[in-house]
Amino acid sequence: MHLPLENIKVLDLTRVLAGPYCTMVLADLGAEVVKVEMPGKGDDSRAFGPYVGEESAYFMSINRNKKSITLNLKTEEGKNLLKELVKKFDILVENYRPGTMEKLGLGYDVLKEINPNLIYAASSGFGHYGPYSKRPAYDGVVQAMGGIMSITGQKGGEPTRVGPSVGDIFAGMFTAVGILSSINKRNLTGEGMKVDVSMLDCQVAILENAVARYFATGASPAPAGNKHASITPFEPFDTSDGKIMIAVGNDNLWARFCKLIEREDLTSDEKFKTNPLRNEHYDILRPMVAEKIAGKTTEEWYTMLTEGGVPCGPINDIGMVVKDEHVNARNMIQMVEHPVAGELHMPGIPIKISDCSDAIRFAAPVLGQHSVEVLGQYLGYGHEDVEKLKEGGII
Amino acid sequence: MHLPLENIKVLDLTRVLAGPYCTMVLADLGAEVVKVEMPGKGDDSRAFGPYVGEESAYFMSINRNKKSITLNLKTEEGKNLLKELVKKFDILVENYRPGTMEKLGLGYDVLKEINPNLIYAASSGFGHYGPYSKRPAYDGVVQAMGGIMSITGQKGGEPTRVGPSVGDIFAGMFTAVGILSSINKRNLTGEGMKVDVSMLDCQVAILENAVARYFATGASPAPAGNKHASITPFEPFDTSDGKIMIAVGNDNLWARFCKLIEREDLTSDEKFKTNPLRNEHYDILRPMVAEKIAGKTTEEWYTMLTEGGVPCGPINDIGMVVKDEHVNARNMIQMVEHPVAGELHMPGIPIKISDCSDAIRFAAPVLGQHSVEVLGQYLGYGHEDVEKLKEGGII
């Protein structure tokens, strides 16, 4: 029952979302992640709502499975403590604006002298080189500049920001992939390296067929609404009490679907025989399907079409998602007991590995909760030493 | 200049997007990825537009850096060849509907007997257990059921599908993370394992603060449009010739911003002193800002605000993204020479690792391009043996 990353030690200087999402992914798979926070304040997102009591539910959901120590990196003694810790860790992750670590005297060039095995990973808005490198970024800015907004939205409507902060989250995921690949390489070469991930680069990397389409046609795709670009019927329909997404992906499904909506006559209609023909005659096909779907509830269609093998699903709101029986059967909403905030629910771990638990091991830390433990374990500090550091404002 | 995964061999049975995205990420970092395709037909996405000549630009952008062999897994000889290859590879990835590999007699239980070191990774719509496990899924269905559509869209508007297929892409990313973590674990234990990733689970894992908000308040968040939920001003504004995303993330930026839009008077206005106050008075603040922004072009504001240190950016369409100087300085649009389709442009590799090239090494394969090479290298087959397999319809 070893967790896959239980031999990996991560010094985590990240804040808010992109970096913390990366280290959450590593922590969820068993890595020892020690979050290094500014004394008295900590990760900015500790101040982000919504709150449960005094604690940020947002912070707690992204920082489970991590430990927290405080360390004032603006003091000489704080910097030295970090350098001592760097000797004992495999990985350092940070998501400061490029140049910040160098200004602190803690850039990769300095740290690799101290620990040549160190994997140093940096996630930033625009990356550590290139003309925009030093600029600040927010998720909204990166979604705008990276093109995803320009292809998200209702047909003919405004470019639309994606609800979750995918500018941050994709950067966190690619940083995790970069770190894990580097662990493999380090096993071959014995040497550390620097991993540089830019939020904007990651947005470009997920544009998928939009880039291929642009280069093939010379035209930039626009928001396409909820309909599939080249399959019909493949979009949401209004039911008598809501909506349902229906995905008739091929001719075989089309035959089944016509039977289930009691319009078997459409199967033999030459206008709708193949998917290209259904696309061509979308304007006459859609109203006929819509009329049928409007006649029953979402639940009725969901049951009937699913039993008939036609891919479909309700457009769930968050309350429906967290109560869904399948989501719960896969442990994707977990309850975690927090020492201050009490019982918390949060998303589970989506990577299921044979003979490995997928349970969240422990709740997010309160600020500096593990200072004594970590400084003791890694640097041999006693309670008294730690008290002195506290009095000096170092931790 | 070793690439980080150059010692890793991946047998790739995936099709369309979620699985191929995963193996692209591994191939981009140096893994030897051998795509196993059905003779005569291959990956379904070879038939997806847009085309360049006879070749799918879509397929080619997701399958660069991979080799292709054909193998008819419905024949006994094809199955046996796969089993022989499994002995020589570290990883097998598939994204069939759960149960398909078992029906072929190639399930994890069979393959791990043949190679106990094998890391077997499966990406599917709903995962390998749970009540919906056997159902087919498409990206659109998973985006609907997983909640992301319910929190994406204009304020007061329809739930909106995200343009790129993030249902597939996140599953691909999490599968890659699961595989790379398993490589680390296998180095400790010497044993292989099965990695099970569900597209729906991955959607739940990226809902971010929406889940925290639901559990804190009991209300499901709705589409919030393009404005930040709790920061003002932080949204797109119309310029004289387009739009610009402006992100005034804190009070310091607010002071700078007021000066740059020549409304320094707002800085001292008590109604707008702090972000909570700016949020409260959004309805009177927004028109005043909007009036100013409407007076210059996007380019003018972009230059002026960026020089003034205020985070902002144009809402780029795909044509603008691929021409952006920073995107190109980071090698995020690359030209690849394809043996049939000629020069192709596609997104680059967003993980930059010191002393590692970030160049795409070679173009996507034509169907079966590497059958002779791979069967020779791994199984010692000669040209004549391969010809016989071809004649028998095995490859």
Check whether residue B163 and residue B312 sit in a common domain: no
Check whether residue B45 and residue B130 sit in a common domain: yes
Domain final residue pick, A316, A342, A360? A316
What is the predicted pLDDT for the residue at B233?
96
Contact A131 B329 (CB under 8 A): yes
Residue in chain B lying closest to A303 (CA): B132
Q: Which chain B residues are within 8 Å of A214, Cβ to Cβ?
A: 318-319, 322
What is the predicted pLDDT for the residue at A230?
82
Domain final residue pick, A292, A316, A340? A316
Q: How far apart are CA B355 and CA B2, in angstroms?
A: 8
- Residue A16 predicted with pLDDT over 70: yes
Q: How far apart are CA B91 and CA B381, in angstroms?
A: 22
> Residues A264, A265, A268, A272: is their CA dihedral positive or negative?
negative
Check whether residue B130 and residue B156 sit in a common domain: yes
Whether residue B20 has a cis bond before it, omega within 30° of 0 = no
Q: To which residue do tokens 């097998």 refer? A: B92
Contact B330 A146 (CB under 8 A): no
Number of folded domains that form chain B: 2
Q: What is the ipTM of this complex?
A: 0.97
Longest dimension (CA), chain B: 85
Contact A213 B50 (CB under 8 A): yes
Of B8, B159, B351, the CB nearest to A184: B8
Looking at CA atoms only, how far is residue A383 from chain B in angstroms? 34
Looking at CA atoms only, how far is residue B164 from chain A in angstroms? 6
Which domain does B279 fall in, by range? 234-316
Does a structural domain hold residue B226? no
| Domain harbouring A80, CATH code | 3.40.50.10540
C-alpha distances in Å from residue A372, one per residue of A94, A364, A375:
23, 17, 5
Active site residue A326: no
Check whether residue B128 and residue B274 sit in a common domain: no
Asked if residue A39 lies in contact with residue A78, where contact means CB atoms within 8 angstroms, the answer is no
Q: To which residue do tokens 């994406």 refer? A: B152
Check whether residue B49 and residue B192 sit in a common domain: yes
Of A195, A212, A225, the CB nearest to B346: A212
Residue A209 — very low, low, confident or very high, per pLDDT cuts 50/70/90?
confident
Structure-token pair, residue A349: 């771990």
Looking at CA atoms only, how far is residue A291 from chain B in angstroms? 19
Residue in chain B lying closest to A24 (CA): B205
What is the predicted pLDDT for the residue at A78?
97
Q: Which chain A residues are within 8 Å of B151, Cβ to Cβ?
A: 163-164, 318
Does a structural domain hold residue B66? yes
Of A160, A196, A210, the CB nearest to B160: A160
- Of A102-116, A214-228, B7-21, the least confident: A214-228
What is the predicted pLDDT for the residue at A28?
98
**pLDDT tens digits, one per residue of A235-265:** 999 999 999 999 998 899 999 999 999 999 9
What is the predicted pLDDT for the residue at B50?
86
Does a structural domain hold residue A213? no
**pLDDT tens digits, one per residue of A133-145:** 999 999 999 999 9
Closest by CA to A91, choosing from A150, A143, A19, is A19
| φ, ψ dihedrals at A382, nearest 5° | -95, 175
Does a structural domain hold residue B251? yes
Check whether residue B252 and residue B360 sit in a common domain: no
Identify from B52, B128, B185 which residue to disrupt to test chain A contact, counting A C-beta atoms within 10 A and taking the largest count: B185
Does a structural domain hold residue A215? no
Q: How far apart are CA A149 and CA A153, in angstroms?
A: 8
What is the predicted pLDDT for the residue at B230?
82
Check whether residue B65 and residue B160 sit in a common domain: yes
Looking at CA atoms only, how far is residue B147 from chain A in angstroms? 5
What is the predicted pLDDT for the residue at A60?
96
Q: How far apart are CA A170 and CA A20, in angstroms?
A: 12
Does a structural domain hold residue A288? yes
Residue A195 — very low, low, confident or very high, per pLDDT cuts 50/70/90?
very high
Name the catalytic one among A2, A228, A281, A338: A228
Contact B205 A138 (CB under 8 A): no
A184-206 as b/e: b if 16+ CB within 10 A: bbbeeeebbbbbbbbbbbbbbbb
Of A152, A197, A346, the CB nearest to B212: A346
Closest by CA to B315, choosing from A218, A141, A167, A170, is A141
Structure-token pair, residue A114: 């101290």
Check whether residue B183 and residue B287 sit in a common domain: no
DSSP B366: P
Check whether residue A105 and residue A177 sit in a common domain: yes
Residue in chain B lying closest to A51 (CA): B216
DSSP B231: -
Structure-token pair, residue B385: 């043996």
Q: Which chain B residues are within 8 Å of A177, Cβ to Cβ?
A: 25, 29, 173, 176-177, 180, 351
Residue in chain B lying closest to A52 (CA): B216
Which residues share a beta bridge with A194? A120
Q: How far apart are CA A283 and CA A291, in angstroms?
A: 13
Q: How far apart are CA B292 and CA A25, in angstroms?
A: 43
Asked if residue B165 lies in contact with residue B19, where contact means CB atoms within 8 angstroms, the answer is no
Q: To which residue do tokens 């040209």 refer? A: B383
- Residue A1 predicted with pLDDT over 70: no
Contact A207 B316 (CB under 8 A): no
Contact B205 A348 (CB under 8 A): yes
Domain final residue pick, B288, B316, B344? B316
Residue in chain B lying closest to A246 (CA): B141
Amino acid (1-letter code) at residue A352: K
Identify from A17, A32, A138, A181 which residue to disrupt to test chain B contact, counting B C-beta atoms within 10 A and taking the largest count: A181
Looking at CA atoms only, how far is residue A113 from chain B in angstroms? 15
What is the predicted pLDDT for the residue at B1?
57
Check whether residue A312 and residue A344 sit in a common domain: no
Closest by CA to A8, choosing from B3, B181, B177, B186, is B181
Task: Considering only CA atoms, give the Rg of chain A.
Answer: 26
SS (H, E, C) chain A: CCCCCCCCEEEECCCCCHHHHHHHHHHHCCCEEEEEECCCCCCHHHHCCCEECCEEHHHHHHCCCEEEEECCCCCHHHHHHHHHHHCCCCEEEECCCCCHHHHCCCCHHHHHHHCCCCEEEEEECCCCCCCCCCCCCCHHHHHHHCCCHHHCCCCCCCCCCCCCCHHHHHHHHHHHHHHHHHHHHHHHHCCCEEEEEEHHHHHHHCCCHHHHHHHHHCCCCCCCCCCCCCCCCEEEEECCCCEEEEECCCHHHHHHHHHHCCCHHHHHCHHHCCHHHHHHCHHHHHHHHHHHHCCCCHHHHHHHHHHCCCCEEECCCHHHHHHCHHHHHCCCEEEEEECCCEEEEEECCCEEECCCCCCCCCCCCCCCCCHHHHHHHHHCCCHHHHHHHHHCCCC
End-to-end CA distance of chain B: 35
Looking at CA atoms only, how far is residue A342 from chain B in angstroms? 12
A369-378 as b/e: b if 16+ CB within 10 A: bbbbebbeeb
Does a structural domain hold residue A250? yes
Closest by CA to B73, choosing from B92, B51, B100, is B100
Q: What are the DSSP calls for B252-274, one per residue?
A: HHHHHHHHHTT-HHHHT-GGGSS
| Domain harbouring A261, CATH code | 3.30.1540.10
Q: Which chain B residues are within 8 Å of A315, Cβ to Cβ?
A: 144-145, 149-150, 159
Residue B78's CB: how many other CB atoms inside 10 A?
A: 23
Check whether residue B70 and residue B187 sit in a common domain: yes
Of B143, B188, B222, the CB nearest to A2: B188
Of B185, B188, B351, the CB nearest to A178: B351
Q: Which chain B residues are within 8 Å of A187, Cβ to Cβ?
A: 187
Of A198, A313, A319, the CB nearest to B220: A319
What is the predicted pLDDT for the residue at B2?
85
Check whether residue A280 and residue A376 sit in a common domain: no
Q: Which chain A residues are within 8 Å of B236, Cβ to Cβ?
A: 144, 159
Instruction: Identify the three-state secondary structure at position B52.
Output: strand
Name the catalytic one among B228, B338, B370, B383: B228
Looking at CA atoms only, how far is residue A42 from chain B in angstroms? 17
Structure-token pair, residue B218: 């009991």
CB pairs under 8 A between A and B: 476
Does a structural domain hold residue A348? yes
Contact A220 B193 (CB under 8 A): no
At B23, which helix (H) or strand (E)? helix B18-28
The list of chain B residues with pLDDT below 50 reads: none
DSSP B347: E
Q: Which chain B residues are within 8 Å of A140, Cβ to Cβ?
A: 226, 228, 234-235, 245, 247
